[in-house]
Amino acid sequence: MSTPSAASHTGSYLSDPRVRFIEWLPWVLAIACYFAAPTYLPLGSYILIMILFALSLDLILGYAGIITLGHAAYFGFGAYVAAILAVRGTADPLIGIVVAGAAAGLLGWLTGLVILRTRGLTLLMLTLAITSICYEIANKAGTWTGGADGLGGFAMKPILGLFKFDLFGKTGYLYCLVFLFLGWWLVRRMIYSPFGASLTGMRDNVLRMHAVGSPVYQRLVVVYSISAALAGIAGALLVHTTEFVGLKVLSFDLSGELLVMLILGGVGRIYGAFVGPLVYLIAQDSLAKQFPEYWYFGIGLMLVLVVMFARGGILGLLDKLLSRMRRGKP
Amino acid sequence: MSPALETRALCKSFGALTVAAQIDFTLETGARHALIGPNGAGKTTFVNMLMGGLAPTSGSIMLGGDEVTRQSQRQRVKRGLGRTFQINTLFRSLTVVDNVALAVAERHGVAWGMFRPAGGYRAVLDESMQVLEMLGLAADAKLPLAAMPYGKQRLVEIAIALGMRPKVLLLDEPAAGIPSLESHRILEVLDALPAEIAILIIEHDMELVFRFARRITVLAQGAVLMEGSPAEVSSDARVRQVYLGERRE
Amino acid sequence: MEGFVSSLVSVAFHGIAYGMILYVISVGLSITMGLMGFVNLAHGVFAMAGGYIMLSAMNSYDVPFPLAISLAFVAVAVASVVLERLLYARLYSAGDLEQVLLTIGLMFMAVAVARLAYGTLQQPVNLPTYLKGQFALFDRDFPTYRVFLIAFSSLLVAALWFGVERTRWGAKVRAAVDNRAMAQAVGINTSLLFTVTFALGSGLAALGGALGADIIAIQPIYPFENLINFLIVVAVGGMGSLRGPFAAALLIGISDTACKYWLPQFGAFFIYAATIGILLWRPAGLFGKAAP
C-alpha cells in the first residue's frame, strides 16, 4: 500500500476533514456537462451511476480490504427490486430508491453475516457463488424478472410529482447527480470518522485489530451492508433512467468491469472511483464500438500493466508525478 | 488480592504431542516477570493460550481472579489483557500516532462513530500523544509508520499495547530483530512502564531479561523447569544444562 | 422403476465423466494455490487453450487425436512456464488483490484473442471414428467417448497421485505446500519447483480442456463461464490437496448432471447453495487444512 499523502483520503486522527477546493471540481464539471454536452447526458447518467457503484466498492475493497468479485449482486438486486416495484407496485422514483436501497442493504447484511467470517479464497469464492445464485434466480424466475429478456415496458412517474423523466435524459442526469452527491457526502464522512480509521486498520492488519479488542466482524458486516445499500441505489438509478433491467446487472462481467474501473482510477482514495469510471466509459464509448475485441484485449493488458507497474492507478501516478515535480523545485 | 494473571494446570496437546504440560503460573500485580526457555520449549504456545488464540486442552486461566479460559481474545482484551507481537504487527499505511489512536479509540468506545471526523476526538489524540511521549516517539508522531526504522517500529508496537491501558501486558520478544547495541533503548522503555501494570516478557536476550525481571520462569519441553529470582535462576544447574549444555571439565 | 434406475445410471455415468474432466482441469489449480499461494483465476485459460489447440490441429491440419492432445499438453505447459517466469513469479509475495487483478486481466486478454482468432461460436468437435458410437457395458450402451474419458482420466489421476506420493518431486511439493519457509530452509529449490509444478498443472488443465471439449464447450468466454466451477472444486475440496478436489469434482459432476436432468428449472442453484453451505461449515474445504 502506498504511504498516504495529503491527497489521499485516509481515516486518520490527524487529517483535516474540510472539503478542499479541488474536491468541488468534479461537481462543477458535472454541472458544466449538463449545459455544454446535452446530447451526451444518457452516457453521463451512466457514468454517474457507475461512479456511485464504484464508490460503494471502494468502501469495502479500498478501505476495509474485502476482496470481492460479486458486488454486482447488490447492484443487480437493487435494480430488479426497483423494476419489479415499478411494474407491480408504484412507479414513484423516490419510493423506488428507498425500497431498492433498503432491500439491497438487507441482502448485504444477511450475506455479510454469513460470508464475512471467512477470508481469502473462501471469501472470494462465496462472493462469486452469491452473485451466481442471484443470476440464476433472475434467469429462471421469468414471471417476476422477465428472465433472459429482461423487464421493461414501464414508465417512471415524475420525481416528487414535478420533474418528469424526459427523452433526452436531462431529468435523469440531474436525478443521478443528486444521489451521487448524497452518496459521496456519506462515504466521505464515514472515511474521515473513527469508523473509517478502524476500516483502514482492518485492511492493514486485521490481526492487530483483534489484539486491540476491535469487533472486527461486526464492523465488516456494517460496512458491507452500507456498501450493498449504495450499490442497490445505483442499480435503481439505472433502472429509473433507462426504464429497463436485464441480466447483465447481475453478471460476473459487471463485477469485473467495475473492479477494472476502480483499479484504473485508484483504490482507497475516494476520487479513484470518480476518475476510473469516467476515463473507462468515455474511452469505451469512443473505442469499443469500432473494435470491441481490441478494446477487451486493451482492458486486460491495461489491468496487467497497472498491477505490475502502477498499483495506485491514475491518481497514484498523478501523485508520483506531483511529488517528483515538487522535489524538482529548489 | 488475586494475582493479575494466573494459570492452573494448563495443558495443551496436539494428539500425542504435548506442547504444554501442567503449567502453574502466577503473575502478581505490578510484576516484572520473564519467561525464558530454549526454542521449542512452548513459550509461544503458552502466550497464545493466554491471549485466547489457542484453546487449552485442560486447565484454567484466570485474569484478575476471574476465569477466562473460555473467553475470546476480545473479551480478555476488555478485561485488560494486552500484548505485543514478536514480529511487528502494525498499521503500515497510517502514521505513528494513528497506530496508537486506533487502540485508544477502541478503549474509549468511540470507534463506531461514523459522522464526526476523527480529528474532532481530541481526547483520543491527546492520549495517543501522551503514550508516544512516554516512549520518546513524540517527534515522529506525524510520520508514516513505514518510514520509521525497525527499532522505532518495535517501540510503536509497545505504544499500541499501552494505548489499551492494560492491566496485564504480554511482551513477545520486544528486542527481537534489534541489534544488541540498541536494546538498551528497549530496556529504558520497559523500565519506564507504569508500575501498576503486570508485565510478562518472553525473551532470548539474557542481558535484557536479567536486568529487567524481578522473577523468572524457565520453560523447557512444555513444562515449568523452575521459577525464581534472577540470581536463583542463573545459578541453577538444571537451567544451565538446558541452555548451555554440560560444562566439560 | 426400470426407467428410473436407468436414468439414475445414466446420470451417474455422465456425472462421473463431467466430474473427472473437472478434476483433471482443476487439480492443477489446487496444487498451485496450495503450493504458491497464488490466486490464479486465469486457470481456465489453459484449459481453453488446450481445447483450441487440439481442435485446430484435428480440424484444420488433420492431426490424429493422440498427437493432438499431446500437442495441447506440451504447448500449454511450455507457454505457462513463460507466463509464470515473466508475470506470476513477480507477484508471489504481493497481496491477494494484485493476483486477482493480474489474472482477471489475463482472462480478458485471452478471451479477446480467442474471439479474434476463432470467432464467437463453439468449436465443432469431431471425434476420431474409433471413439465414436456406443460401447456396451453391463448390458447397457454408453457413449464410447465418455467411457474413454473416464478410463483415461482415471489413468491420469492414478499417475498423478502416484507421482505426488511416491516420487521425490512429489515429496518436495508436499513439503513446500505444508511449510514453504521450512522447505526452502531444507534446501529445496522452491523457485524451480514452482515452475515445474505450475507447468504440470497447466498442462493437465489443457489436457482436461481438450479431452472434455465434448462436455465443456470450447468457446471464447470459456474462462469466465467455467471459472466458478473450477473454483468450487478447489475451494470445496480443499486448496493444496489432491483427494479433496477429486471428491468435490465428482460430487459436483454428479449433482450438476442430476439437477440439470431432474430439476432444470432450478439450473445450477443447488450447486451454488450447496457450495455456500459447505464452505460455511468447513471454510478450508472438505479436506483442506484450517488456516493457521
Q: According to the model, what pLDDT value does residue B246 have?
A: 46
Contact B216, B209 (CB under 8 A): yes
Name the grid cell of A308.
505490475
Residue of A nearest to C98 (CA): A307
Name the grid cell of C125.
468437435
Yes or no, beta carbons of A211 and B51 under 8 Å apart: yes
Output b/e per residue, A293-306; b: 16+ Cβ within 10 A: bebbbbbbbbbbeb
Residues of A in contact with B83 (CB under 8 A): 211
Yes or no, beta carbons of A67 and C105 under 8 Å apart: no
Report yes or no: B109 at the A interface, CB cutoff 8 Å: no
Residues of A in contact with C272 (CB under 8 A): 129-130, 132-133, 136
Q: Which domains does chain A have, with CATH numbers?
A: 36-290 (1.10.3470)
Interface size A-C, in CB pairs within 8 Å, comes to 128
Rounded Cα gap, residues A135 and C227, in angstroms: 15
Neighbours of A142 (CB within 10 A): 13
Contact B164, B108 (CB under 8 A): no
φ, ψ for residue C123, nearest 5 deg: -80, 135
Rounded Cα gap, residues A250 and A73, in angstroms: 5
A1 has a pLDDT exceeding 50: no
Instruction: Summarize the confidence of residues B161-183 as an average pLDDT.
Output: 86
| Mean pLDDT, chain B, integer | 87
- Quick one: chain B helix, strand, coil %, rounded to 5? 40, 25, 35
Residue of C nearest to A68 (CA): C97
Each residue's pLDDT tens digit, B78-123: 899 999 988 889 998 899 999 999 999 999 999 999 888 988 899 9
Name the grid cell of A265.
482510477
Residue of B nearest to A192 (CA): B117
Neighbours of C2 (CB within 10 A): 6
Q: According to the model, what pLDDT value does residue C80 have?
A: 94
Name the grid cell of B44.
509461544
Residues of B in contact with A217 (CB under 8 A): none
* Listed residue (A63, A52, A57, A71) closest to A111, CA to CA: A71
Chains B and C touch (3+ CB pairs under 8 A): no
Neighbours of C5 (CB within 10 A): 9
Rounded Cα gap, residues A300 and A309, in angstroms: 14
**Chains in contact with B, counting 3 or more C-beta pairs less than 8 Å apart as contact:** A
Q: Chain A residues within 8 A (CB-CB) of chain C?
A: 61, 67, 69, 114-115, 117-122, 124-126, 128-130, 132-133, 136-137, 139-140, 252-253, 256, 259-260, 263, 267, 293-294, 296-297, 299-304, 306-308, 311
Rounded Cα gap, residues A206 and B48, in angstroms: 16
Instruction: Summarize the confidence of residues A212-225 as an average pLDDT.
Output: 94
Contact A187, A211 (CB under 8 A): no
Residues of A in contact with C234 (CB under 8 A): 121
Q: Residue B89: what residue type?
A: T
Which one of B83, B91, B114 has the shortest CB-CB distance to A195?
B114
Residues of A in contact with B105 (CB under 8 A): 13, 194, 197-198
Yes or no, beta carbons of A125 and C104 under 8 Å apart: no
Q: According to the model, what pLDDT value does residue C290 have?
A: 55
Q: Torsion-angle region of residue B69: left (phi > 0), alpha (psi -120 to 50) or beta? A: alpha
Rounded Cα gap, residues A122 and C42, in angstroms: 17
Task: Name the segment(s) of chain B with CATH classification 3.40.50.300.
Answer: 1-80+166-249
Residue of A nearest to C114 (CA): A293
Rounded Cα gap, residues B77 and C197, in angstroms: 44
Show the DSSP H helices in chain A as ranges: 25-36, 41-58, 72-88, 93-115, 120-140, 142-145, 170-192, 194-204, 206-211, 216-242, 252-265, 272-283, 292-309, 313-328
* Spatial CB neighbours of B158, under 8 Å, sequence gap ≥ 6: B84, B135, B171, B174, B189
**Which of A82-86, A296-300, A306-310, B187-191 is predicted most confidently?**
A82-86
Rounded Cα gap, residues C106 and A304, in angstroms: 7
Q: According to the model, what pLDDT value does residue B245 have?
A: 55
Residues of A in contact with C268 (CB under 8 A): 132, 136
Yes or no, beta carbons of C108 and A299 under 8 Å apart: yes
A-interface mutation test, from B114, B153, B164, B169, most A Cβ less than 10 A away:
B114
Each residue's pLDDT, cut to its tens digit, for chain C (292 residues) gives: 677 888 888 899 999 999 999 999 999 899 888 888 888 999 999 999 999 999 988 888 888 888 999 999 999 999 999 999 999 888 887 888 889 999 999 999 999 999 988 888 777 887 777 778 787 777 777 888 888 888 898 998 898 888 888 888 888 877 777 777 777 777 778 788 889 889 999 999 999 999 998 888 888 888 888 998 999 999 898 887 888 899 999 999 999 999 888 888 777 888 888 888 888 888 778 877 654 3
A-interface mutation test, from B102, B140, B145, B156, most A Cβ less than 10 A away:
B102
Q: According to the model, what pLDDT value does residue A6 have?
A: 42
Tell me the shortest Cα–Cα distance from A174 to chain C, in angstroms. Answer: 33
Cell numbers 486506533: residue:
B102
Architecture of domain B1-80+166-249: 3-Layer(aba) Sandwich (3.40)
Tell me the shortest Cα–Cα distance from A199 to chain B, in angstroms. Answer: 10
pTM of the shown model: 0.89
3-state secondary structure of A150: coil
Rounded Cα gap, residues C269 and C256, in angstroms: 9
ipTM above 0.90, yes or no: no
Residues of A in contact with C280 (CB under 8 A): 114-115, 117-118
Interface size A-B, in CB pairs within 8 Å, comes to 135
Q: According to the model, what pLDDT value does residue A180 have?
A: 96
